[in-house]
């Protein structure tokens, strides 16, 4: 989480080895094994473990939806796209999970923004990695598919053991979805922890430079937030910080 320009996309790209790292380290631990230096892995080996759905991608012309989803299988193919016996099943599964099977034969240049977003997500799922990084994955999606994508991410983490890292702008979505929330501000970590700790109203008000209040949803028991605009400023009472940072 964090305002525009706080470093969210840069952090995700660094974790995916698409952005240079000048300090610190990135380690990858698989199936309870030892931590490995992710920057030393071969590109193909790294791509079998980590994939990134970036915020913006160009729209390829002349390709079908199935063609684009099949791009996700590149780490498993040889130099000349050698046989990938698990590929067809992985592609079908990814298209089924994202609800695009009926679009398989259509050209991607014909799709709406929301449909295209699901196609790119399906390509990431077809890559079948143990780490899935997503930069604002619900952009352009209507309410139904937004909820279904969040349900899918929950299942990937809880049922299939996939480590999911997501950049979101909606504080309530983060509170409902995440085990751990990291709040970034000007390239630094302002807070990290469970949602009810990291999403402190005083801290959020400082980071976003607008009054933010929080409350507990009586139906779900989850944290909810609200930014206070100038028309409701008279109703705002600044909260006290719940813990030291």
Domain ranges of the chain: 8-169
Phi, psi torsion values for 70, nearest 5 degrees: -65, -20
Question: What average pLDDT is seen over the chain?
Answer: 89
Average pLDDT over residues 110-137: 92
In whole angstroms, give the CA distance from residue 106 to residue 28: 37
* Residue 239 DSSP label: P
CATH of domain 8-169: 3.40.50.300
First-to-last alpha carbon distance for the chain, in angstroms, is 17
As separate numbers, helices (DSSP H) first and strands (DSSP E) second, the chain gives 9, 9
In whole angstroms, give the CA distance from residue 47 to residue 69: 15
Based on the number of CB atoms within 10 Å of its own CB, is 8 exposed (0-12), middle (13-18) or buried (19 or more)?
A: buried
In whole angstroms, give the CA distance from residue 45 to residue 49: 7
Whether residue 144 has pLDDT greater than 60: yes
Whether residue 11 has pLDDT greater than 90: yes
Length of the chain, in residues? 245
Instruction: Output 10 or 83, whichever has higher pLDDT.
Output: 10
Q: How confident is the model at residue 210 (pLDDT cuts 50, 70, 90)?
A: very high
Average pLDDT over residues 58-79: 88
Determine if the pTM surpasses 0.75. Answer: yes
> How many C-beta neighbours within 10 Å does residue 224 have?
16
**C-alpha distances in angstroms, 126 versus 50, 91, 173, 188, 199?**
12, 5, 25, 33, 33
Instruction: Mention every residue, 6+ apart, whose C-beta is less than 8 A from residue 236.
Output: 211, 213, 228
Whether residue 242 has pLDDT greater than 70: no
Question: Which 3 state secondary structure label does DSSP give 224?
Answer: strand
């Amino acid at each position: 989480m964090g305002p525009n320009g706080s470093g969210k996309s840069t952090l995700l790209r660094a974790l995916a080895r698409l952005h240079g790292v000048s300090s610190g380290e990135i380690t990858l631990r698989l199936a309870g094994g030892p931590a490995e230096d992710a920057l030393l892995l071969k590109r193909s080996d790294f791509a079998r473990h980590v994939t990134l759905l970036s915020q913006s991608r160009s729209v390829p012309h002349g390709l079908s939806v199935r063609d684009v989803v099949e791009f996700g299988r590149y780490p498993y193919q040889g130099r000349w796209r050698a046989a990938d016996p698990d590929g067809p099943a992985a592609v079908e599964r990814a298209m089924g999970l994202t609800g695009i099977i009926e679009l398989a034969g259509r050209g991607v240049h014909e799709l709406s923004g929301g449909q295209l977003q699901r196609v790119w997500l399906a390509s990431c799922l077809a890559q079948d990695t143990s780490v899935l990084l997503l930069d604002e994955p619900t952009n352009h999606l209507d309410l139904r598919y937004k909820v279904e994508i969040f349900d899918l991410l929950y299942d990937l983490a809880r049922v299939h053991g996939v480590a999911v890292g997501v950049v979101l702008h909606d504080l309530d979505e983060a509170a409902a979805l995440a085990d751990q929330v990291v709040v970034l501000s000007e390239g630094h970590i302002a807070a990290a922890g469970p949602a009810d700790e990291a999403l402190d109203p005083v801290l959020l008000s400082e980071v976003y430079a607008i009054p933010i209040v929080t409350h507990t949803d009586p139906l779900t028991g989850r944290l909810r937030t609200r930014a206070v605009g100038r028309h409701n400023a008279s109703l705002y009472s600044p909260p006290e910080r719940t813990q030291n940072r």
